[in-house]
Amino acid sequence: MKTISAANIAALASIVEGAKATGQIELAEIKSIIHAVERERSIAAHVSYVRSKDLTAEEKRTVTLALKNPDKKAYNKMLELADTFYRGDMAQLVPLVVGHHANDFEKRQIEAAAEIVRRPWMAGVKHTAVEVSKIAARLGIGNPTKTVRIPKRK
């Protein structure tokens, strides 16, 4: 179950009213609502994560604007901001977890994290950072306390 904003509820209600009147529904409109709901959920998750960091005034403005207007531009800005911190977390965790994998999956995740830290243009950051955090938690290593920013390079 996902939460939905009042704006998306209104848009969905409008689609339903149109369908009642015409007996037809536009699939593209439904898909648009689904994408908007998913975008809002993703923005909320990124906001929750970045709020655990020591944010600059500009980063705080980015978060506030993303919550006020969760459009595609806000989504991309929050993704970029969160990505910067995920990379920083991995840079702190990788040296602590190298060699402590319990299985091949964990070994691959640690190797992927190390590669992302070495090559900041790589993708797959959030998933890898979450997995490396799980490995660290299993080892009794807490989440990084320092706020480290490593921006993605092209």
Those residues whose C-beta lies under 8 Å from the C-beta of residue 52, and which sit 6 or more positions away, are: 143
Q: How many domains, in total, are found in the chain? A: 1
Residue 118 lies in a domain: yes
Cα 108 to Cα 68: distance, rounded to the nearest angstrom: 38
Residue 145 lies in a domain: no
150 backbone dihedrals φ, ψ, rounded to 5°? -130, 100
> CB atoms < 10 A from the CB of 24, how many?
8
Residue 49 lies in a domain: yes
Cα 150 to Cα 26: distance, rounded to the nearest angstrom: 43
Residue 92 lies in a domain: yes
Which segments of the chain have a pLDDT < 70?
1-2, 154
Residue 1 lies in a domain: no
Residue 144 lies in a domain: no
Confirm if 5 and 40 have CB atoms less than 8 A apart.
Answer: yes
Residue 63 is predicted with a pLDDT of 96
Containing domain of residue 19, as a range? 6-138
Q: What's this model's pTM, rounded to 2 decimal places?
A: 0.80
* CB-side neighbour CA atoms (13 Å) of 91: 16
Instruction: Indicate left, alpha or beta for 79 from its phi (over 0: left) and psi (-120 to 50: alpha).
Output: alpha
Residue 154 is predicted with a pLDDT of 65
pLDDT in tens, 116-126: 888 878 877 88
End-to-end alpha-carbon separation of the chain, Å? 36
Residue 143 lies in a domain: no
Q: Where is 93: in which H helix or E strand? A: helix 72-97
Residue 85 is predicted with a pLDDT of 94
- Return the beta strands (E) in 85-141 as ranges: none
Residue 37 lies in a domain: yes
Residue whose structure tokens are 């995920």: 86
